[in-house]
Amino acid sequence: MIVVSDTSPINYLLLINQLDLLPRLYQQIIIPDVVHNEMLDSAAPQVLQQWIANPPIWLTVQAVSAIDETLGALDPGEQAAITLAQTLQADLLIVDERLGRQMARARGLHIIGTLGILDDAAAQGLIDLAETIARLQQTNFRVSRRIIQALLQKPMN
């Protein structure tokens, strides 16, 4: 399975101590070099900078030679992640931002975000969803209360 990720889902999973869900659910994750550079930037959270300075074996950084110019409304990391996902014909793109998700879907990409990862992990019995979402809400992760309520009220199989 080819899975490409943008910066923010990795950041939020790291902040809530759930980053190990990525290799457990998907084995390998690919990030574009632009995303790697965003993580190393001095403006990035210190914990993210420290983590990416010594990346785990399940993370691959891949150069993106030419960015899809029609993605100009997005930040550089999202542009690179969507372009890389298209180039690799990825099975899944991990992205949180609404516009990025919309543009990825319009290109036929299958997407998931931080909440979707947590939902999948909870369905597999890997985490307690309510507890993990409570930790996520202690960060600057933005999502409507309605989406959180719907997710927590969804029956688990």
Assess contact for 29 and 60: CB atoms under 8 A: yes
pTM score of the predicted model: 0.93
Other C-beta atoms within 10 Å of 59: how many? 18
Instruction: Flag whether pLDDT at 153 surpasses 70.
Output: yes
Across the range 79-92, mean pLDDT stands at 96
130-145 confidence digits (pLDDT tens): 999 999 999 999 888 8
Cα 26 to the chain's mean position, in Å? 12
d(CA 120, CA 128): 11
- Name 145's Cβ contacts closer than 8 Å, sequence gap at least 6: none
Taking only the tens place, the pLDDT of each residue in 7-18 is 999 999 999 999
| Residue-range domains of the chain with CATH | 3-153 (3.40.50.1010)
Confidence of residue 150 (pLDDT cuts 50, 70, 90): confident
Q: What is the pLDDT of residue 143?
A: 87
